[in-house]
């Protein structure tokens, strides 16, 4: 069975969108914790928030690239 590039891109995009939802959930949880935390623990949570935010932005950027031909070479048949 041959899977088209468009179908492969749709599968990857769907997966990445689920990753984005997961990242959003993690961000909400860490932001809630950070609001109640002080000192070094608060700094550690801010670090986690920064990392998850970067991951979320990168994931969304990749989803947008999948809508173009930018990454088509990754899906060679």
User: CA separation (Å) from 17 to 42, 46, 57, 73?
Assistant: 29, 24, 11, 21
The pLDDT, as a whole number, for residue 1 is: 83
Residue 76 has pLDDT above 90, yes or no: no
Contact 10, 2 (CB under 8 A): no
In a domain, 50, yes or no: yes
Residue 30 has pLDDT above 70, yes or no: yes
In a domain, 75, yes or no: no
- pTM, full prediction: 0.86
Residue 3 φ/ψ region, left for φ over 0, alpha for ψ in the -120 to 50 degree band, beta for the rest: beta
The pLDDT, as a whole number, for residue 77 is: 64
> What range does the domain containing 14 cover?
5-69
The count of domains in the chain is: 1
Contact 46, 34 (CB under 8 A): yes
Q: What is the mean pLDDT of residues 42-50?
A: 97
């Amino acid at each position: 069975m041959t899977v088209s590039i468009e179908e492969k891109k749709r599968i990857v995009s769907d997966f990445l969108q689920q990753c984005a939802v997961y990242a959003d959930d993690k961000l909400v949880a860490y932001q809630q914790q950070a609001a109640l935390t002080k000192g070094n623990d608060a700094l550690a949570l801010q670090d986690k928030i920064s990392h998850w935010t970067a991951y979320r932005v990168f994931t969304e950027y990749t989803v947008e690239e999948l809508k173009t031909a930018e990454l088509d070479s990754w899906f060679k048949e």
